């Protein structure tokens, strides 16, 4: 710190002996201090303190009317609790006890009379320096405090903005889900009609060219119906509108029902559909529609992504859950895609160059359904070597035929 800053400090001297005051003033004057005031009447300290706002007080202890301890006691009420105000006590007969008392009353340092002026000068400067550093610290604290306050206000504002945006996004999502559900429903009804009539025409028409046209209408209609069903499933799941109807289902017959749906497609590709069971007559307590939807998506994918070999469903009872494995000998999935394929709309081959038809919704819906039934789904697969999708559903089964 620069000395000139000290020299502008306000110094208040209180001593009942004018001669002591004169010596101290002489010292201050010699050192270059310009703002010093004094009094021999200790009763004047409080009003002088208020008016003069000293940076340091040089205080005698033994004085008539009010001694130094009493003065310090009164000043304490004027100084803010955490503020630093240096008091240099100047006294002739300071013993250990009065030193302790003075410290307790607020003194910062002592010096005994007669003064060694070099010492007095140094103590004053040291105390002023501490005061200056304290003030610097206070200022820094204030700056930090202000910065923290401003940042908190900013954070609160962006928090508020974020939650408003989140609410808006949720509302938009809800609207989207409702829209999808309504549209799928509205579209499904006419498509069922179109497919029904196309199927009739296919059976009735003799002309081969017209028959093929009817066949194509039926195929396109069926594909559209599958897509709509997926969208409807997804929107129902997202809107939490799905209410499960839990009852006992026989897994062997569920697999047959699912296989029947894919028999023609598998046959055309020369694929065999196989099923194995760890136990005979396994019954599972679950929602049949959801279970069929899970099988549908997994077996459908297995058939779609396999050129030769087989698609197998293996059902086995474990200690506290049932495991359904759908295995194929198809194109396989490289490791980097194992998690991604369960996300909405994600496919291994994406974009306009994709090699397979599909919406990228089947596995996402399957995962959501499995999880809603308190189960889990995972995939084991290697590129070019086929895939196995493993579904685990909670063990709520009993066996028809005990082993």
Residues within the interface to ligand ADP (CB under 6 A): 297, 301-302, 305, 328, 330-331, 333, 341, 347-348, 358-364, 387
Residue 309 or 360: which CB sits closer to ligand ADP? 360
What is the token pair recorded at 97? 């006890």
Minimum distance, C-beta of residue 302 to ligand ADP, in the bound complex (Å): 5
Cis geometry, peptide bond prior to residue 114 (ω within 30 degrees of 0)? yes
Which DSSP state fits 115? P
Residue 68 or 221: which CB sits closer to ligand ADP? 221
Residue 89 or 180: which CB sits closer to ligand ADP? 180
- Alpha carbon 332 to its chain centroid, in Å, reads 35
Residue 170 or 274: which CB sits closer to ligand ADP? 274
- Reported as type and span, the H/E element at residue 139 is helix 117-204
d(CA 238, CA 234): 6
Which residues, other chains included, contact 386 with Cβ-Cβ below 8 Å and sequence gap of 6+? 306, 309, 327, 328, 329, 330, 332
Minimum distance, C-beta of residue 284 to ligand ADP, in the bound complex (Å): 23
Which DSSP state fits 339? T
Minimum distance, C-beta of residue 305 to ligand ADP, in the bound complex (Å): 3
What is the token pair recorded at 37? 């005031």
In order of 188, 243, 336, 339, the CA distances from 240 in angstroms are: 21, 8, 31, 23
Residue 249 or 331: which CB sits closer to ligand ADP? 331
Residue 20 or 296: which CB sits closer to ligand ADP? 296
Minimum distance, C-beta of residue 334 to ligand ADP, in the bound complex (Å): 10
d(CA 313, CA 299): 8
Minimum distance, C-beta of residue 300 to ligand ADP, in the bound complex (Å): 7
Minimum distance, C-beta of residue 402 to ligand ADP, in the bound complex (Å): 35
The closest residue (CB) to ligand ADP is 358
Length of the chain counted residue by residue? 403
Residue 324 or 331: which CB sits closer to ligand ADP? 331
Phi/psi at 339 (5° precision): -90, -40
Minimum distance, C-beta of residue 225 to ligand ADP, in the bound complex (Å): 14
d(CA 335, CA 338): 5
| 377 bridge partner residues | 391
Minimum distance, C-beta of residue 179 to ligand ADP, in the bound complex (Å): 21
Q: Taking the CA atoms of the chain, what radius of gyration do you get in angstroms?
A: 45
d(CA 232, CA 359): 13
Minimum distance, C-beta of residue 341 to ligand ADP, in the bound complex (Å): 4
Query: Which position has the token pair 């208040």?
Result: 12
Check residue 238 and give left, alpha or beta (phi > 0: left; psi -120 to 50: alpha). alpha
Residue 195 or 293: which CB sits closer to ligand ADP? 293
Residue 108 or 329: which CB sits closer to ligand ADP? 329
For 31, counting Cβ atoms within 10 Å of its Cβ (0-12 exposed, 13-18 middle, 19+ buried), the class is middle
């Amino acid at each position: 710190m620069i000395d000139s800053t000290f020299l502008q400090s306000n110094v208040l001297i209180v001593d009942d002996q004018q001669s002591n005051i004169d010596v101290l003033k002489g010292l201050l004057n010699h050192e270059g201090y310009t703002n010093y005031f004094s009094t021999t009447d200790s009763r004047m300290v409080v009003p002088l303190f208020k008016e003069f706002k000293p940076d340091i007080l040089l205080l005698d202890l033994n004085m008539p009317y009010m001694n130094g301890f009493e003065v310090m006691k009164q000043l304490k009420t004027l100084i803010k609790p955490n503020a630093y105000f240096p008091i240099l006590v100047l006294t002739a007969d300071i013993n250990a006890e009065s030193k302790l008392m003075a410290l307790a009353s607020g003194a910062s340092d002592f010096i005994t009379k007669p003064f060694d002026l070099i010492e007095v000068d140094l103590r004053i400067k040291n105390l002023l320096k501490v005061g200056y550093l304290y003030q610097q610290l206070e200022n820094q604290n204030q700056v930090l405090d202000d910065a923290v306050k401003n940042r908190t206000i900013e954070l609160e504002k962006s928090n508020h903005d974020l939650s408003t945006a989140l609410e808006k996004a949720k509302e938009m999502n809800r609207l989207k889900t409702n829209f999808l559900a309504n549209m799928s429903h509205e579209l499904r009804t006419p498509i069922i009609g179109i497919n029904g009539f196309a199927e009739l025409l296919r059976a009735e028409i003799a002309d081969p060219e017209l028959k093929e046209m009817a066949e194509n209408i039926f195929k396109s209609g069926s594909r559209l119906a599958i897509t709509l069903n997926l969208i409807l499933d997804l929107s129902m799941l997202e809107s939490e509108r799905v209410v499960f109807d839990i009852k006992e289902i026989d897994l062997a017959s569920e697999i047959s029902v699912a296989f029947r749906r894919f028999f023609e497609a598998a046959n055309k590709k020369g694929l065999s559909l196989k099923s194995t069971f760890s136990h005979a007559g396994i019954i599972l307590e679950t929602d049949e529609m959801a279970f069929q939807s899970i099988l549908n998506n997994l077996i459908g994918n297995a058939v779609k992504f396999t050129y030769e070999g087989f698609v197998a469903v293996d059902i086995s009872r474990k200690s506290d859950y049932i495991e359904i494995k759908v295995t194929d000998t198809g194109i396989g999935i490289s490791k980097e895609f194992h998690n991604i394929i369960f996300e909405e709309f994600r496919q291994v081959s994406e974009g306009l160059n994709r090699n397979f038809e599909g919406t990228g919704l089947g596995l996402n819906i399957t995962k959501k359904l499995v999880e809603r039934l308190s189960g889990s789904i995972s995939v084991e697969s290697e590129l070019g070597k086929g895939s196995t999708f493993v579904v685990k559903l909670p063990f709520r089964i009993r066996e028809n035929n005990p082993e």
